[in-house]
Amino acid sequence: MELKNPREDAVKIALLDLGIPAYYEYMRYPLSNGRAYYPDFMTSIFLNGRQVILEPHSTVNDTGYLKKLSEFINTYDFYLVLISNRSHRKLIEHGSDPEEFVDKYWFINNFYNDESFVKQNSEKVKKKLKNLLRRPEAEIIKE
């Protein structure tokens, strides 16, 4: 599968290392005003019956993008985790709280879009995924 950037490579490696099946940009989901959303990673993880989507991204202070994610969640009832290297505190200081739009925000320090960080970032994503899977409402559904 051809991925767009090293952040996505890190997420893919973490999912593969943990044996968690996932689809990459598997489906197009229509939204209002002719827009659409292609989830990056549709995982086989479910929280309270809601399928978990992992969305690695850089520009999480773009409220237009965040509103698009929110519309997707509200329309299709997925559990969306937005992953970025932008500190949650700094985003709030600049007037954008991603957790107002998505289910969970994962800040990963040095989650850069650089090949030299892929292995290091995949380990950080794996740690976050393991914590997510420890939640009592989490389950992996393998088809």
Using only the alpha carbons of the chain, give its radius of gyration: 14
Query: Is there a contact between 9 and 2 (Cβ–Cβ < 8 Å)?
Result: no
**Domain tally for the chain?**
1
In this predicted model, which residue has the larger pLDDT, 53 or 64?
53
* Domain span including residue 121: 6-133
Q: What CATH number does residue 57 fall under?
A: 3.40.1350
| pLDDT for 100 | 86
The Cα–Cα gap between 74 and 121 comes to: 29
How many Cβ atoms are within 10 Å of 104's Cβ, its own excluded?
16
Residue 138 falls inside a structural domain: no
140 within some domain: no
Domain annotation covers residue 142: no
Give the global pTM.
Answer: 0.91
More confident residue, 115 or 42: 42
pLDDT one-digit tens code per residue, 50-61: 999 999 987 676
pLDDT above 90: percentage of residues in the chain: 60
